[in-house]
Structure 1
């Protein structure tokens, strides 16, 4: 498999990951890069995967935030409806 095909396959797999899975893998990548014991070519490849994971996590968080609503209460404290969370 060519490097371009591997990259495309990896990027597709990232898009299907749950937030917790993507975050855990991103944390592993950061840890490996911080240790500094990864060869340069591999560092570049895992950095690129880390960027894809970061973007995926940001997109998932934004989607979750868009779904969250705040319950409005009337003056007596009874639920009156919902509004978008600030």
Structure 2
């Protein structure tokens, strides 16, 4: 049995929009059900990775905005 799916990028290599879109897809697949426990666990783990990536992007954006505001106020 071969896996013909294209290789997935490392979560850390993804931009925010890519990670968010894949995370939404993971959530949809988990909510739909009809997959094995092993598939569910793998999706859950990938979702956790993607959520971490999204959070890092958002935290970085927040820091940049704060720095820009501080610079403007000084």
TM bin, normalised by shorter chain, reads 0.7 to 0.9
Is 1:52 aligned to 2:13, yes or no?
no
TM-score by length of 1: 0.67
Shift of 1:70: 2.7
1:23 alignment partner in structure 2: 20
TM-score by length of 2: 0.77
CA RMSD of aligned residues (A): 1.8
Shift of 1:82: 1.4
Any unmatched runs of 5+ in structure 2? 1-7
Moved over 4 A (4+): none
Greater length-normalized contact order (CA 8 Å, ≥ 6 residues apart): 2
Taking the aligned partners of 2:29 and 2:54, their CA distance within structure 1 comes to: 19
Deviations 1:8-30 (CA, angstroms, capped at 9, x unpaired): xx6x7110100000000000000
Between Structure 1 and Structure 2, the one with more helix by share is: 2
Taking the aligned partners of 2:35 and 2:16, their CA distance within structure 1 comes to: 26
Any unmatched runs of 5+ in structure 1? 1-9, 72-80
